[in-house]
Homo-oligomer: A and B are copies of this chain.
Amino acid sequence: MTEHLELYKKELLERVVPFWMQHSKDDEMGGYFSCLNQYGEVYDQDKFLWLQGRQVWLFSMLADKVEPRQEWIDMAVHGAEFLQKYGRDAEGNWYFSLNREGKPLVQPYNIFSDCFAAMGFGALYKVKPKEEYAEIARNTFNNILARRVNTKGKYNKMYPGTRKLKNFALPMILCNLSLELEHILGKKIVDDLIDEVLHEILNVFYDPDLGFILENVYEDGSFCDSFEGRLLNPGHAIEAMWFIMDLGVRRNDPKLVEKATEISLKTLKHGWDQKHGGIFYFLDVLGNPPQQLEWDQKLWWVHLETLVCLAKAYQLTGNEEAKVWFEKVHEYTWKHFRDEEYPEWFGYLNRQGEVLLPLKGGKWKGCFHIPRGLFQVWDTLSKMNSN
Protein backbone atom coordinates (compact mmCIF):
# COMPACT_ATOMS: atom_id res chain seq x y z
CA MET A 1 0.00 0.00 0.00
CA THR A 2 2.75 2.46 0.87
CA GLU A 3 3.96 2.32 -2.72
CA HIS A 4 1.10 4.77 -3.43
CA LEU A 5 2.49 7.41 -1.10
CA GLU A 6 4.24 9.46 -3.77
CA LEU A 7 1.25 9.23 -6.07
CA TYR A 8 -1.08 10.86 -3.54
CA LYS A 9 1.48 13.49 -2.58
CA LYS A 10 2.33 14.43 -6.15
CA GLU A 11 -1.31 14.54 -7.24
CA LEU A 12 -2.10 16.87 -4.35
CA LEU A 13 0.82 19.23 -4.69
CA GLU A 14 1.37 19.22 -8.44
CA ARG A 15 -2.09 18.92 -9.92
CA VAL A 16 -4.88 19.65 -7.47
CA VAL A 17 -3.64 22.49 -5.28
CA PRO A 18 -2.22 24.41 -8.28
CA PHE A 19 -5.59 24.09 -10.05
CA TRP A 20 -7.35 25.98 -7.26
CA MET A 21 -4.50 28.47 -6.88
CA GLN A 22 -4.72 29.27 -10.54
CA HIS A 23 -8.46 29.27 -11.23
CA SER A 24 -10.52 29.94 -8.12
CA LYS A 25 -9.32 33.26 -6.76
CA ASP A 26 -11.61 36.20 -7.47
CA ASP A 27 -9.02 39.00 -7.49
CA GLU A 28 -11.56 41.65 -8.28
CA MET A 29 -14.36 41.02 -5.79
CA GLY A 30 -12.73 38.75 -3.21
CA GLY A 31 -13.50 35.20 -2.19
CA TYR A 32 -13.30 32.18 -4.44
CA PHE A 33 -15.04 31.01 -7.56
CA SER A 34 -16.07 27.40 -7.12
CA CYS A 35 -18.00 26.72 -10.32
CA LEU A 36 -15.15 25.76 -12.63
CA ASN A 37 -15.47 23.65 -15.75
CA GLN A 38 -13.13 20.87 -16.85
CA TYR A 39 -10.44 23.40 -17.78
CA GLY A 40 -10.86 25.64 -14.78
CA GLU A 41 -12.98 28.28 -16.49
CA VAL A 42 -15.59 30.00 -14.34
CA TYR A 43 -19.12 29.14 -15.47
CA ASP A 44 -20.99 30.60 -12.51
CA GLN A 45 -19.95 33.38 -10.15
CA ASP A 46 -22.10 32.79 -7.08
CA LYS A 47 -20.27 32.18 -3.81
CA PHE A 48 -21.51 29.27 -1.73
CA LEU A 49 -20.57 29.56 1.92
CA TRP A 50 -19.87 25.86 2.49
CA LEU A 51 -17.21 25.99 -0.20
CA GLN A 52 -15.77 29.38 0.79
CA GLY A 53 -15.22 28.21 4.37
CA ARG A 54 -13.84 24.85 3.28
CA GLN A 55 -11.33 26.43 0.95
CA VAL A 56 -10.07 28.75 3.71
CA TRP A 57 -9.68 25.61 5.82
CA LEU A 58 -7.89 23.65 3.10
CA PHE A 59 -5.21 26.23 2.40
CA SER A 60 -4.70 26.90 6.11
CA MET A 61 -4.41 23.16 6.74
CA LEU A 62 -1.81 22.79 4.00
CA ALA A 63 0.20 25.66 5.45
CA ASP A 64 -0.06 24.05 8.89
CA LYS A 65 0.53 20.40 8.02
CA VAL A 66 2.63 20.41 4.84
CA GLU A 67 4.72 23.58 5.01
CA PRO A 68 4.08 27.24 5.90
CA ARG A 69 4.08 28.40 2.29
CA GLN A 70 3.20 32.09 2.13
CA GLU A 71 1.07 31.77 -1.03
CA TRP A 72 -1.15 29.25 0.75
CA ILE A 73 -1.60 31.49 3.77
CA ASP A 74 -2.37 34.43 1.49
CA MET A 75 -4.93 32.33 -0.37
CA ALA A 76 -6.65 31.41 2.90
CA VAL A 77 -6.64 35.03 4.09
CA HIS A 78 -8.10 36.10 0.74
CA GLY A 79 -11.18 33.94 1.35
CA ALA A 80 -11.41 34.76 5.04
CA GLU A 81 -11.52 38.51 4.38
CA PHE A 82 -14.43 38.08 1.99
CA LEU A 83 -16.26 35.90 4.50
CA GLN A 84 -15.58 38.34 7.34
CA LYS A 85 -16.95 41.22 5.33
CA TYR A 86 -20.02 39.66 3.76
CA GLY A 87 -20.68 36.21 5.22
CA ARG A 88 -22.89 36.84 8.26
CA ASP A 89 -26.26 38.35 9.05
CA ALA A 90 -26.78 40.72 12.00
CA GLU A 91 -27.07 37.80 14.44
CA GLY A 92 -23.81 36.24 13.29
CA ASN A 93 -25.44 33.41 11.33
CA TRP A 94 -23.70 32.53 8.08
CA TYR A 95 -25.63 32.91 4.85
CA PHE A 96 -25.93 29.96 2.50
CA SER A 97 -24.80 31.86 -0.58
CA LEU A 98 -23.77 35.30 -1.80
CA ASN A 99 -23.53 36.77 -5.26
CA ARG A 100 -20.15 37.56 -6.71
CA GLU A 101 -19.91 40.93 -4.95
CA GLY A 102 -20.89 39.45 -1.60
CA LYS A 103 -24.55 40.43 -1.44
CA PRO A 104 -26.63 37.74 0.31
CA LEU A 105 -28.63 35.47 -1.97
CA VAL A 106 -29.82 32.67 0.28
CA GLN A 107 -30.61 33.07 3.97
CA PRO A 108 -28.76 31.30 6.81
CA TYR A 109 -31.02 28.27 6.87
CA ASN A 110 -28.17 25.78 6.68
CA ILE A 111 -25.98 25.35 9.74
CA PHE A 112 -23.20 23.68 7.77
CA SER A 113 -22.31 27.09 6.40
CA ASP A 114 -21.51 27.97 10.01
CA CYS A 115 -19.64 24.72 10.58
CA PHE A 116 -17.33 25.22 7.64
CA ALA A 117 -16.81 28.90 8.40
CA ALA A 118 -15.77 28.00 11.96
CA MET A 119 -13.48 25.28 10.60
CA GLY A 120 -11.90 27.73 8.17
CA PHE A 121 -11.27 30.51 10.67
CA GLY A 122 -10.06 28.02 13.27
CA ALA A 123 -7.49 26.58 10.91
CA LEU A 124 -6.42 29.99 9.65
CA TYR A 125 -5.78 31.10 13.23
CA LYS A 126 -3.16 28.33 13.52
CA VAL A 127 -1.08 29.70 10.67
CA LYS A 128 -1.92 33.38 11.12
CA PRO A 129 -2.80 33.96 14.79
CA LYS A 130 -4.92 37.10 14.52
CA GLU A 131 -7.23 37.20 17.53
CA GLU A 132 -10.26 38.13 15.40
CA TYR A 133 -9.99 34.81 13.56
CA ALA A 134 -10.15 32.88 16.83
CA GLU A 135 -13.06 35.01 17.93
CA ILE A 136 -15.06 34.34 14.76
CA ALA A 137 -14.40 30.61 15.10
CA ARG A 138 -15.39 30.61 18.80
CA ASN A 139 -18.53 32.69 18.37
CA THR A 140 -19.64 30.65 15.41
CA PHE A 141 -19.07 27.41 17.30
CA ASN A 142 -21.13 28.65 20.24
CA ASN A 143 -23.84 29.77 17.88
CA ILE A 144 -23.92 26.31 16.28
CA LEU A 145 -24.41 24.73 19.71
CA ALA A 146 -27.17 27.21 20.49
CA ARG A 147 -28.93 26.40 17.21
CA ARG A 148 -28.47 22.65 17.59
CA VAL A 149 -32.04 21.76 18.53
CA ASN A 150 -33.60 23.42 15.51
CA THR A 151 -30.78 24.26 13.15
CA LYS A 152 -33.04 25.56 10.40
CA GLY A 153 -34.93 27.96 12.67
CA LYS A 154 -37.96 29.46 10.96
CA TYR A 155 -37.02 27.72 7.71
CA ASN A 156 -37.74 24.34 9.27
CA LYS A 157 -40.66 22.88 7.33
CA MET A 158 -41.30 19.90 9.58
CA TYR A 159 -44.57 20.12 11.49
CA PRO A 160 -43.62 19.98 15.17
CA GLY A 161 -44.39 16.80 17.02
CA THR A 162 -45.75 14.42 14.44
CA ARG A 163 -42.51 12.62 13.70
CA LYS A 164 -39.58 13.66 15.84
CA LEU A 165 -36.44 12.66 14.02
CA LYS A 166 -32.79 13.40 14.68
CA ASN A 167 -30.38 13.77 11.79
CA PHE A 168 -26.91 12.28 11.72
CA ALA A 169 -25.12 15.09 9.90
CA LEU A 170 -24.69 17.54 12.78
CA PRO A 171 -23.24 15.19 15.44
CA MET A 172 -20.90 13.90 12.78
CA ILE A 173 -19.64 17.33 11.81
CA LEU A 174 -19.44 18.43 15.46
CA CYS A 175 -17.18 15.48 16.18
CA ASN A 176 -14.73 16.64 13.54
CA LEU A 177 -15.21 20.36 14.19
CA SER A 178 -14.50 20.22 17.90
CA LEU A 179 -11.16 18.53 17.21
CA GLU A 180 -10.38 21.16 14.60
CA LEU A 181 -11.05 23.93 17.12
CA GLU A 182 -9.37 22.46 20.19
CA HIS A 183 -6.64 25.12 20.15
CA ILE A 184 -9.37 27.70 20.52
CA LEU A 185 -11.97 25.92 22.67
CA GLY A 186 -9.63 24.13 25.08
CA LYS A 187 -9.39 20.43 25.96
CA LYS A 188 -12.25 20.26 28.48
CA ILE A 189 -14.97 21.46 26.11
CA VAL A 190 -13.69 19.18 23.36
CA ASP A 191 -13.51 16.11 25.62
CA ASP A 192 -17.05 16.63 26.88
CA LEU A 193 -18.40 17.13 23.40
CA ILE A 194 -16.60 14.04 22.13
CA ASP A 195 -18.19 11.89 24.84
CA GLU A 196 -21.58 13.14 23.82
CA VAL A 197 -21.02 12.77 20.10
CA LEU A 198 -19.59 9.27 20.38
CA HIS A 199 -22.63 8.25 22.35
CA GLU A 200 -24.92 9.76 19.70
CA ILE A 201 -23.19 8.08 16.79
CA LEU A 202 -22.65 4.62 18.28
CA ASN A 203 -25.76 4.30 20.46
CA VAL A 204 -28.32 6.45 18.67
CA PHE A 205 -27.61 6.46 14.92
CA TYR A 206 -25.91 3.08 14.71
CA ASP A 207 -28.57 0.38 14.49
CA PRO A 208 -27.07 -2.82 15.95
CA ASP A 209 -29.74 -5.06 14.40
CA LEU A 210 -29.22 -3.73 10.92
CA GLY A 211 -25.50 -3.12 11.45
CA PHE A 212 -25.65 0.28 9.77
CA ILE A 213 -25.52 3.95 10.65
CA LEU A 214 -28.89 5.49 9.80
CA GLU A 215 -29.18 9.08 8.61
CA ASN A 216 -32.36 9.76 10.59
CA VAL A 217 -33.79 8.07 13.67
CA TYR A 218 -36.45 8.78 16.27
CA GLU A 219 -35.16 10.78 19.22
CA ASP A 220 -34.65 7.60 21.27
CA GLY A 221 -32.62 6.06 18.44
CA SER A 222 -35.33 3.72 17.23
CA PHE A 223 -35.97 3.00 13.57
CA CYS A 224 -38.55 5.08 11.69
CA ASP A 225 -40.08 3.37 8.68
CA SER A 226 -40.24 6.40 6.38
CA PHE A 227 -38.16 7.70 3.47
CA GLU A 228 -35.96 9.61 5.94
CA GLY A 229 -35.68 6.75 8.39
CA ARG A 230 -34.81 4.14 5.78
CA LEU A 231 -32.07 6.26 4.24
CA LEU A 232 -28.49 4.98 4.07
CA ASN A 233 -25.71 7.24 2.88
CA PRO A 234 -22.71 4.90 2.78
CA GLY A 235 -20.15 7.62 2.10
CA HIS A 236 -21.41 9.69 4.98
CA ALA A 237 -21.26 6.78 7.42
CA ILE A 238 -17.79 5.78 6.23
CA GLU A 239 -16.53 9.37 6.55
CA ALA A 240 -17.83 9.42 10.12
CA MET A 241 -15.92 6.23 10.84
CA TRP A 242 -12.55 7.83 10.10
CA PHE A 243 -13.48 10.76 12.32
CA ILE A 244 -14.14 8.15 15.00
CA MET A 245 -10.82 6.42 14.31
CA ASP A 246 -9.11 9.77 14.95
CA LEU A 247 -10.98 9.95 18.25
CA GLY A 248 -9.90 6.39 19.04
CA VAL A 249 -6.29 7.43 18.59
CA ARG A 250 -6.78 10.51 20.73
CA ARG A 251 -8.37 8.50 23.53
CA ASN A 252 -5.96 5.63 23.10
CA ASP A 253 -8.96 3.34 22.64
CA PRO A 254 -8.17 0.52 20.18
CA LYS A 255 -11.64 -0.98 20.66
CA LEU A 256 -13.21 2.18 19.28
CA VAL A 257 -10.95 1.97 16.23
CA GLU A 258 -11.89 -1.72 15.78
CA LYS A 259 -15.58 -0.89 15.99
CA ALA A 260 -15.25 1.91 13.43
CA THR A 261 -13.30 -0.43 11.13
CA GLU A 262 -15.97 -3.10 11.39
CA ILE A 263 -18.83 -0.69 10.69
CA SER A 264 -17.05 0.92 7.77
CA LEU A 265 -16.24 -2.43 6.11
CA LYS A 266 -19.79 -3.63 6.51
CA THR A 267 -21.14 -0.36 5.09
CA LEU A 268 -18.71 -0.42 2.20
CA LYS A 269 -19.56 -4.00 1.22
CA HIS A 270 -23.26 -3.18 1.35
CA GLY A 271 -22.81 0.07 -0.59
CA TRP A 272 -20.54 -1.35 -3.30
CA ASP A 273 -22.08 -1.67 -6.75
CA GLN A 274 -21.47 -5.32 -7.69
CA LYS A 275 -22.34 -4.67 -11.30
CA HIS A 276 -20.38 -1.55 -12.24
CA GLY A 277 -18.08 -0.98 -9.26
CA GLY A 278 -17.99 2.14 -7.11
CA ILE A 279 -20.08 3.05 -4.08
CA PHE A 280 -23.74 4.03 -4.36
CA TYR A 281 -24.72 7.49 -3.16
CA PHE A 282 -27.94 6.50 -1.37
CA LEU A 283 -29.73 3.27 -0.47
CA ASP A 284 -32.93 2.34 1.30
CA VAL A 285 -32.04 0.07 4.19
CA LEU A 286 -35.08 -2.12 3.53
CA GLY A 287 -34.33 -2.33 -0.18
CA ASN A 288 -37.17 -0.07 -1.32
CA PRO A 289 -36.66 2.54 -4.03
CA PRO A 290 -34.94 5.51 -2.39
CA GLN A 291 -36.42 8.96 -2.74
CA GLN A 292 -33.20 10.40 -4.16
CA LEU A 293 -33.10 10.12 -7.96
CA GLU A 294 -29.30 10.34 -7.86
CA TRP A 295 -29.07 7.26 -5.64
CA ASP A 296 -26.99 5.15 -8.05
CA GLN A 297 -24.46 7.83 -8.97
CA LYS A 298 -20.82 7.68 -7.95
CA LEU A 299 -19.63 10.80 -6.16
CA TRP A 300 -16.04 11.95 -5.65
CA TRP A 301 -16.33 12.66 -1.92
CA VAL A 302 -17.78 9.24 -1.14
CA HIS A 303 -14.79 7.55 -2.73
CA LEU A 304 -12.14 9.86 -1.29
CA GLU A 305 -13.55 9.56 2.23
CA THR A 306 -13.60 5.78 1.83
CA LEU A 307 -9.95 5.73 0.84
CA VAL A 308 -9.06 7.81 3.90
CA CYS A 309 -11.09 5.50 6.12
CA LEU A 310 -9.55 2.31 4.73
CA ALA A 311 -6.01 3.69 4.91
CA LYS A 312 -6.52 4.66 8.54
CA ALA A 313 -8.20 1.36 9.36
CA TYR A 314 -5.27 -0.61 7.95
CA GLN A 315 -2.65 1.64 9.50
CA LEU A 316 -4.25 1.43 12.92
CA THR A 317 -5.49 -2.17 13.04
CA GLY A 318 -3.59 -4.07 10.35
CA ASN A 319 -6.95 -5.45 9.18
CA GLU A 320 -6.18 -7.26 5.91
CA GLU A 321 -9.66 -6.76 4.54
CA ALA A 322 -9.18 -3.02 4.85
CA LYS A 323 -6.05 -3.33 2.73
CA VAL A 324 -7.74 -5.39 0.03
CA TRP A 325 -10.62 -2.95 -0.13
CA PHE A 326 -8.25 0.02 -0.19
CA GLU A 327 -6.65 -1.35 -3.35
CA LYS A 328 -10.03 -2.00 -4.93
CA VAL A 329 -11.45 1.44 -4.16
CA HIS A 330 -8.13 3.08 -5.07
CA GLU A 331 -8.22 1.48 -8.50
CA TYR A 332 -11.82 2.47 -9.17
CA THR A 333 -11.35 6.00 -7.90
CA TRP A 334 -8.18 6.88 -9.78
CA LYS A 335 -9.45 5.31 -12.96
CA HIS A 336 -12.84 7.01 -13.04
CA PHE A 337 -12.65 10.30 -11.14
CA ARG A 338 -9.21 11.54 -12.11
CA ASP A 339 -9.14 13.63 -15.28
CA GLU A 340 -6.18 12.56 -17.40
CA GLU A 341 -6.53 15.55 -19.64
CA TYR A 342 -6.50 18.46 -17.20
CA PRO A 343 -5.79 18.82 -13.46
CA GLU A 344 -8.31 18.19 -10.65
CA TRP A 345 -10.89 15.43 -10.65
CA PHE A 346 -14.43 14.97 -11.83
CA GLY A 347 -17.05 14.91 -9.14
CA TYR A 348 -20.09 13.18 -10.55
CA LEU A 349 -20.19 9.89 -12.46
CA ASN A 350 -23.21 7.91 -13.54
CA ARG A 351 -23.69 4.38 -12.31
CA GLN A 352 -21.61 3.03 -15.18
CA GLY A 353 -18.67 5.19 -14.10
CA GLU A 354 -18.89 7.69 -16.95
CA VAL A 355 -18.59 11.42 -16.32
CA LEU A 356 -22.06 12.81 -15.63
CA LEU A 357 -21.13 16.49 -15.24
CA PRO A 358 -17.85 17.65 -16.79
CA LEU A 359 -17.01 20.04 -13.95
CA LYS A 360 -14.19 20.39 -11.46
CA GLY A 361 -16.21 22.55 -9.12
CA GLY A 362 -19.84 23.53 -8.67
CA LYS A 363 -22.38 24.43 -6.05
CA TRP A 364 -21.32 21.52 -3.80
CA LYS A 365 -17.89 20.46 -5.07
CA GLY A 366 -15.09 22.83 -4.19
CA CYS A 367 -11.53 22.79 -2.97
CA PHE A 368 -12.06 20.30 -0.19
CA HIS A 369 -12.66 16.54 -0.45
CA ILE A 370 -10.17 15.79 -3.23
CA PRO A 371 -7.22 17.65 -1.67
CA ARG A 372 -8.16 16.70 1.90
CA GLY A 373 -8.51 13.07 0.90
CA LEU A 374 -5.23 13.04 -1.01
CA PHE A 375 -3.52 14.65 1.97
CA GLN A 376 -5.04 12.29 4.51
CA VAL A 377 -4.09 9.17 2.56
CA TRP A 378 -0.57 10.51 1.96
CA ASP A 379 -0.26 11.34 5.66
CA THR A 380 -1.57 7.94 6.74
CA LEU A 381 0.72 6.07 4.37
CA SER A 382 3.65 8.12 5.75
CA LYS A 383 2.78 6.93 9.23
CA MET A 384 2.78 3.34 7.99
CA ASN A 385 6.17 3.88 6.41
CA SER A 386 7.58 5.14 9.68
CA ASN A 387 5.92 2.39 11.75
Contact = CB atoms under 8 A, between A and B. Distances in A.
Interface of A: 37, 43-44, 46, 95-96, 99, 103-107, 109, 154-155, 157-159, 162-163, 225-227, 286, 288-291, 293-297, 348, 350-352, 356-359, 362-363
A107 B363 contact: no
Given A43-B289, A109-B157, A352-B352, 13 more contacts: A43-B288, A44-B226, A46-B226, A46-B227, A99-B162, A103-B159, A105-B163, A155-B155, A290-B357, A293-B293, A293-B297, A293-B357, A350-B350
A99 B162 CA distance: 8
A297 B163 CA distance: 32
A356 B43 contact: no
B107 A159 contact: yes
A239 to B, nearest CB: 19
Given A44-B288, A162-B104, A358-B289, A363 B157 contact: no
Contact of A294 (B157, B290, B294): B294
A158 B98 CA distance: 11
Contacts of A295: 357
A289 B154 contact: no
Interface of A is mostly: loop
A295 B357 CA distance: 9
A363 B291 contact: yes
A294 B293 contact: yes
A154 B109 CA distance: 12
Which 8 residue pairs are nearest across A and B when measured between Cβ atoms?
A289-B357, A293-B294, A104-B159, A43-B288, A289-B359, A103-B162, A107-B157, A109-B157
A209 to B, nearest CB: 20
A107 B155 contact: no
B37 A158 contact: no
Of the listed residues A46, A155, A294, A357, the one surrounded by the most CB atoms of chain B closer than 10 A to its CB is A357
Contacts of A291: 362-363
Nearest to A38: B289
Nearest to A359: B289
A286 B289 CA distance: 33
26 contacts: A37-B288, A43-B286, A43-B288, A44-B227, A46-B227, A96-B157, A103-B159, A103-B162, A104-B162, A105-B158, A105-B159, A106-B158, A106-B159, A107-B158, A155-B155, A155-B157, A227-B363, A289-B357, A289-B358, A289-B362, A290-B357, A291-B363, A293-B348, A294-B294, A296-B356, A350-B350
